Amino acid sequence: MTFTPHGKHLIAGDWIAGEASFTSAPAHGPAHDFSVGTPAHVDAACAAAEEAFWSYGYSSRAERAAFLNAIADEIEARAEAITEIGAQETGLPEARLQGERGRTTGQLRLFAEHILKGDYLDRRHDKALPDRQPLPRPDLKMMQRPIGPVAVFGASNFPLAFSTAGGDTASALAAGCPVVVKGHSAHPGTGEIVAEAIHAAIAKCNLHPGVFSLIQGGRRDVGQALVQHPLIKAVGFTGSLGGGRALFDLCAARPEPIPFFGELGSVNPMFFMPHALANRGTEIAQGWAGSLTMGAGQFCTNPGISVVIEGPEAEAFTKAASEALAPMGAQTMLTDGIAAAYRQGRDRIAGAKGVQEVLTSVCDMRNATPYLFLTTGAEWLANEALGEEVFGPLGLIVVVKDMDEMLALAHSLQGQLTCTLHLDDEDAKAARKLLPVLERKAGRVLANGFPTGVEVCDAMVHGGPYPASTNFGATSVGTLAIRRFLRPVCYQNMPEAVLPDDLR
């Protein structure tokens, strides 16, 4: 099944063209023309979303669960076509896209199951105490309610799981919030075919068409118009620190400030305890090389930093990591811009004071090859720039003098999505000193693993202190993500016949 995009926006059930267009830049295969979004498109989509909220926001959990499952069904019905155009646009292997499609449909179905259980409503009831002295207590009931229309920005590195029908969209729709998506220009055809799947599910479930809109392309004015639109009540974003911070500031500066749930950047450091490094250093180095280069390093949980204590074990680890990375060939990056930014990051690290090149290679155009650098704990602590993310398969080994310097390095970290401890049983005492620091720095702390690969489940946290994300109390993966798009409402002395069905 071959899919040929028509290049239009989906706004309130209609496919609409714009006056201007842009041409996609696929890694291979044909390029296609797509309409450029405008603030006028944003206004139309937001108005339709607000109108849809008055029915969709008050629909039953069963109705919304059926809708989420219908979206998953429609995506699966287009599986081959999605894989084909996704691979063309991004250069990602077909197997990776097939797995990501499964994750996308899986999280839609997971949220359907989650809302049917009803636990997320956090229902509470304090019964009236009319005879209490000195004052009686009224009857008080509370539960979580949807906030209204939500804006979602598609991500460059996950054309399915973090884009049009990704986790932000799935959790917002599950909560009862209509969604307006700004598609990513790196994969507009993939966005369009997934929007067609959602459009088909809306028709199948007989929902208001304003429950979902997709606006393609667009310049900064489109993103600005979307986050500043008075009908938008929250924003979900996965992307760069610079772009995310700019949108975050716009949300905060609105006459009515709204929450901006941005996942922005992380170097995901790994800390090697002495016995683990001595006993398994070579094995872990080989695993790190695989994790570092997976998907050309284009994962937000890519473990870019390894912290080891100086000595022969650290030297052996460095040698093993270099040998494991050396045979890795060039990989196609998602866009020319991401490839250029990777080379700039490489040059920044290579040119930093006290940084030694361990493994160098040559990459140009849209290709990425691995790089490995080495520095000391003292140089790291003196240069904040070494802790800035390089999006791609670049690793930095930081050699510290002892556990005290490792602890100081951990204290110096900015917020992270993940931190990892590699430890053996004999390392438990040292690890206990480090863990309280790491849990203040990251949303997920791992032991003896690699952070690439984020399980979609109840207990997952994909977020962390700034700049990993703009809201440390939230996650963009897992069922807790629904809480971003809900707010508590208390009902005092409300007659049973008037209460929402879920509180009766």
Per-residue pLDDT at 87 = 96
Residue-wise pLDDT for 295-329, tens only, equals 999 999 999 999 999 999 999 999 999 999 999 98
| Distances 350 to 42, 76, 394 between C-alpha atoms, Å | 43, 45, 11
Reference 427, options 419, 435, 438, 436; nearest CA is 435
As a whole number of angstroms, the distance between CA 79 and CA 18 comes to 28
How much is the average pLDDT of 13-27? 94
Per-residue pLDDT at 219 = 79
Reference 393, options 447, 455, 349; nearest CA is 349
Structure tokens at 335: 């866009």
Say yes or no to pLDDT of 218 above 80. Answer: no
As a whole number of angstroms, the distance between CA 81 and CA 103 comes to 17
How much is the average pLDDT of 80-108? 96
For the chain, the residue count is 504
Assign 363 a pLDDT band (cuts: 50, 70, 90).
confident
Reference 244, options 305, 159, 156; nearest CA is 156
Q: pLDDT above 70 covers what percent of the chain?
A: 100
As a whole number of angstroms, the distance between CA 500 and CA 504 comes to 7
Assign 439 a pLDDT band (cuts: 50, 70, 90).
very high
Parallel, antiparallel, or unpaired: how do β-strands 270-272 and 416-422 relate?
parallel
Catalytic residue check, 89: no
Residue-wise pLDDT for 393-413, tens only, equals 999 999 999 999 999 999 999
Determine which one of 263, 313, 389, 405 is catalytic: 263
In the DSSP assignment, the letter for residue 138 is -
Per-residue pLDDT at 361 = 85
Say yes or no to pLDDT of 29 above 70. Answer: yes
Do the Cβ atoms of 307 and 398 come closer than 8 Å?
yes
How much is the average pLDDT of 116-125? 98
Residue 375: in which H helix or E strand, if any?
Answer: strand 371-376
As a whole number of angstroms, the distance between CA 12 and CA 349 comes to 47
As a whole number of angstroms, the distance between CA 84 and CA 203 comes to 25
| Distances 261 to 103, 171, 477, 484 between C-alpha atoms, Å | 21, 13, 12, 8
- State the helix-helix crossing angle for 403-412 and 428-441, rounded to 10 degrees: 10
Residue 245: in which H helix or E strand, if any?
Answer: helix 241-253
Reference 231, options 213, 218, 206; nearest CA is 213
Q: What is the mean pLDDT of the chain?
A: 96
Say yes or no to pLDDT of 289 above 70. Answer: yes
Residue-wise pLDDT for 155-204, tens only, equals 999 999 999 999 999 999 999 999 999 999 999 999 999 999 999 999 99
How much is the average pLDDT of 377-389? 95
Determine which one of 46, 251, 300, 363 is catalytic: 300
How much is the average pLDDT of 29-43? 96
Reference 49, options 166, 147, 162, 180; nearest CA is 180
Say yes or no to pLDDT of 1 above 70. Answer: no
Assign 226 a pLDDT band (cuts: 50, 70, 90).
very high
Q: Which residues contact 323 (CB under 8 A, 6 or more apart)?
A: none
How much is the average pLDDT of 27-55? 97
Q: Please state the pTM of the whole predicted model.
A: 0.96
How much is the average pLDDT of 267-280? 98
Catalytic residue check, 263: yes
Pick 115 or 473 by higher pLDDT. 115
